[in-house]
Chains A and B, each alone.
Chain A
Amino acid sequence: MTSLIDRRMGIFLAGLFVLTVAVPIGNLAFDGKVVPSYIVSLLGKYLCYALLAVALDMVWGFCGILSLGHGAFFALGGYAMGMHLMREIGDRGVYANPDLPDFMVFLSWDELPWFWMGFDNFWFASLMVMLVPGALAFLFGWFAFRSRVTGVYLSIITQAMTYALQLAFFRNEMGFGGNNGLTDFKDVLGFPIQSDATRAGLFVCTAIALALGLLIARAITTSKLGMILVCIRDAESRTRFMGYRVEGYKLFIFVVSAMMAGVAGALYTPQVGIINPGEFSPANSIEIVIWVALGGRGTLVGAALGAILVALAKTLFTGWFPEFWLFALGGLFILVTLFLPKGVLGLIEETFARKKKPAPALQEAKA
């Protein structure tokens, strides 16, 4: 049996732990002089992306389902949390309406639509963060997998799904704030959302969510079910002849992954302070695939690493030459597919393996 925490997972989790301790201390204990507050939220955002990448890696890396619509599950989770944050504003909005969010007052709605009911409650909203993406993934997967839609056709309909949602969320009548989305949040669980302590708290929560997400993904992918996922990826038809109902397995991992993406989105919204239909854009979903490919498909830790590296590069690059980011990303993707089939993680591990070879005694002593 493969262990839950292997070497790479151990190293990654240790690094994450150090970051989780050091970043809030560096920010709070030194009044933002060592780690500025905006960096805390920025790093928190990266960790959300990392969790999203892990979610995608479960379906793509292990089960071979190239979803180009995972941004939709992320955005839905983000909206579910955003709806709660809107409710927490209460009567502190511009229109000071205690019952309705500003945008509804602006659209002169009289009452809260039924699908906003319950979102006052944080725990209800947290449940929806997973249930809504999970339900969409279930419905979508139920039809797609049962009709044996695979490969590029499946990828195309997942793109269509996220695009359709983007168009829908742009509409004011939908009741999700139209193209402005949801923003101007004040508190989360009663803590002022802009305060350094809250930001640090959100960062720590995200780090914990990422660690848990990685462990859950690892537990699933190292189970017998996880091995069957790989069978499906490598020889789907053969797997059926062994008596496994492939549709059920795909549906399971797709739904779990969508829920994880939803959690990532829910943690993202309070840290960036806004969620809008742009998050549903097809390009976003493609970018997630690039993170995973770049970091190392089917490695979980690599996917997380890829997301963080690309997000970091994007932050730096868009600061220098904003117009060229997409070209740089595309170029990077091509280079990695051509020269690093195992991604950045593969490169790192091979480099270490090579360095270690001349001194096997040292390696043993360490292990």
Chain B
Amino acid sequence: MSVHLLLDGVNRSFDGYKAINDLSLAVDKGELRAVIGPNGAGKTTMMDIITGKTRPDSGGVWWNQTVDLTKIDEAGSARLGIGRKFQKPTVFETHSVEENIALSLKAERSVLATLFHRQTEAEAARITELLELVRLEGDRHRPAADLSHGQKQWLEIGMLLAQDPELLLVDEPAAGMTDAETMRTAELLRSLAGKHTVIVVEHDMDFVRALDCRVTVLHQGHVLTEGSLDHVSANPEVIEVYLGR
């Protein structure tokens, strides 16, 4: 298995506070990885660094062992094949549910291509397929602003899938979802692994257990430990900083 994403001794501070501290992490192609850790551990900041939103002060971030992600901006990372679901669900509120998906679909992103774009039948079919998957088929013509918090989470997952990224960065997808929905999300993410590489951040331990994958524990911007969920939850340090709270 080849390493898909590699963080190598990454540092980043904000006003003297080291949000990311010598962070090293390797994720294989097709792997499903859960990242857990207390609030402020730097999980979201890590995703910001991978997607070019935040530049590291030092350290390397490598894509497919060849592309230097620290030199690439947000749009560039998306074009490489990195898709992101945000902690705070952000959908385009004035657009309809369907349009949100349509705009996310993998397609040419240039100004001229979008100016003259006409929706193809294949695209229309894919949109319907995705809407059915995230169970928003009945709401497709409603403005996204009308959706509940949980539905927005689903819409954002649909938008993420529409991009058909190679790597999915999924930040707290289960927040605002019912237990049944949470389990369905875990199932969906598991089904993506293999074909896609997936990194999931989540606080919900039942959800992480359902993912049934390797877990990385982040604390103060550094990897505390890594391994199966049972392995890391037996770690006294992890219990002290996170699980035992």
A→B interface (CB under 8 Å): 1, 220, 223-225, 227-228, 230-231, 234-235, 237-238, 240-246, 248-249, 252
Contacts of A225 in B (CB 8 A): 111, 114-115, 117
* Cβ contact within 8 Å between B115 and A224: yes
Contacts of B73 in A (CB 8 A): 240
User: Which of B13-21, B26-34, B74-82, B208-216 is the contact stretch?
Assistant: B74-82
Instruction: Give CA–CA (A220, B115) in the complex, Å.
Output: 7
Within 8 A of A (CB), among B104-125: 104, 109-111, 114-117, 119
Among A223, A230, A240, which residue has its beta carbon within 8 angstroms of that of B92? Answer: A230
User: Which of B60-68, B93-101, B188-196 is the contact stretch?
Assistant: B93-101
Given A225-B114, A238-B86, A241-B51, A231 contacting B75 (CB threshold 8 A): no
Residue B222 interfacial (CB < 8 Å)? no
Instruction: Give CA–CA (A238, B144) in the complex, Å.
Output: 15
Given A223-B116, A230-B95, A249 contacting B111 (CB threshold 8 A): yes
Contacts of B159 in A (CB 8 A): 242
Contacts of B95 in A (CB 8 A): 227, 230-231
Grouping DSSP codes into helix (H, G, I), strand (E, B) and loop, the A interface class, with mixed when no group exceeds half, is: helix
Contacts of B77 in A (CB 8 A): 241
Contacts of A252 in B (CB 8 A): 111, 115
Q: Which B-chain residue is minimally distant from A298 (CB atoms)?
A: B94
B66 to chain A, nearest CB (A): 20
Given A241-B84, A242-B103, A244-B109, A223 contacting B117 (CB threshold 8 A): yes
Q: Which A-chain residue is minimally distant from B93 (CB atoms)?
A: A234
* Cβ contact within 8 Å between B114 and A242: no
Among B92, B94, B99, B163, which residue has its beta carbon within 8 angstroms of that of A243? Answer: B163
* Cβ contact within 8 Å between B94 and A230: yes
Query: What size tier do the contact residues of chain B reach?
Result: 20 to 34
- 23 A-B contact pairs sorted by A residue (CB < 8 Å): A1-B119, A223-B114, A224-B103, A225-B111, A225-B114, A225-B115, A227-B99, A228-B103, A230-B94, A237-B74, A238-B90, A240-B74, A241-B53, A241-B75, A241-B77, A241-B78, A241-B83, A241-B84, A241-B86, A242-B78, A242-B159, A245-B75, A252-B111
Given A224-B117, A231-B95, A248-B110, A243 contacting B103 (CB threshold 8 A): no
* Cβ contact within 8 Å between B90 and A235: yes
* Cβ contact within 8 Å between B103 and A240: no
B→A interface (CB under 8 Å): 51, 53, 73-75, 77-79, 83-84, 86, 90, 92-95, 99, 102-104, 109-111, 114-117, 119, 159, 163
Q: Which A-chain residue is minimally distant from B169 (CB atoms)?
A: A241
* Cβ contact within 8 Å between B92 and A234: yes
B46 to chain A, nearest CB (A): 15
Q: Which A-chain residue is minimally distant from B77 (CB atoms)?
A: A241
Q: Which B-chain residue is minimally distant from A252 (CB atoms)?
A: B111
Instruction: Give CA–CA (A241, B80) in the complex, Å.
Output: 11
Contacts of A230 in B (CB 8 A): 92, 94-95
* Cβ contact within 8 Å between A228 and B114: yes
Instruction: Give CA–CA (A228, B111) in the complex, Å.
Output: 10
B47 to chain A, nearest CB (A): 10
Given A227-B103, A238-B90, A243 contacting B78 (CB threshold 8 A): yes
Count A/B pairs, Cβ under 8 Å.
Answer: 71
Contacts of A245 in B (CB 8 A): 75, 109
Given A1-B119, A231-B103, A243 contacting B79 (CB threshold 8 A): yes
* Cβ contact within 8 Å between B110 and A242: no
* Cβ contact within 8 Å between B92 and A235: yes
Instruction: Give CA–CA (A249, B110) in the complex, Å.
Output: 9
B243 to chain A, nearest CB (A): 31
* Cβ contact within 8 Å between B115 and A223: yes
What 13 new A-B contacts, CB under 8 Å, besides A238-B90, A241-B75, A249-B111?
A224-B103, A225-B111, A227-B103, A231-B95, A231-B103, A234-B93, A241-B84, A242-B78, A242-B103, A243-B75, A243-B78, A245-B75, A248-B110
A260 to chain B, nearest CB (A): 16
Among A224, A235, A246, which residue has its beta carbon within 8 angstroms of that of B75? Answer: A246
Instruction: Give CA–CA (A223, B116) in the complex, Å.
Output: 7
Q: Which B-chain residue is minimally distant from A240 (CB atoms)?
A: B74
Contacts of B115 in A (CB 8 A): 220, 223-225, 252
A138 to chain B, nearest CB (A): 13
* Cβ contact within 8 Å between A248 and B111: yes
Q: Which B-chain residue is minimally distant from A253 (CB atoms)?
A: B111
Instruction: Give CA–CA (A156, B65) in the complex, Å.
Output: 44
Contacts of A224 in B (CB 8 A): 102-103, 114-115, 117
Among A225, A227, A237, A241, the most chain B Cβ lie within 10 Å of the Cβ of A241
Instruction: Give CA–CA (A26, B182) in the complex, Å.
Output: 71
B112 to chain A, nearest CB (A): 9
B148 to chain A, nearest CB (A): 19
Instruction: Give CA–CA (A245, B52) in the complex, Å.
Output: 13
A272 to chain B, nearest CB (A): 34
Instruction: Give CA–CA (A228, B105) in the complex, Å.
Output: 13
Q: Which B-chain residue is minimally distant from A228 (CB atoms)?
A: B114
Contacts of A242 in B (CB 8 A): 75, 78, 103-104, 159, 163
Contacts of B114 in A (CB 8 A): 223-225, 228
Instruction: Give CA–CA (A218, B25) in the complex, Å.
Output: 49
Instruction: Give CA–CA (A237, B52) in the complex, Å.
Output: 12
B117 to chain A, nearest CB (A): 4
Contacts of B103 in A (CB 8 A): 224, 227-228, 231, 242
* Cβ contact within 8 Å between A238 and B78: no
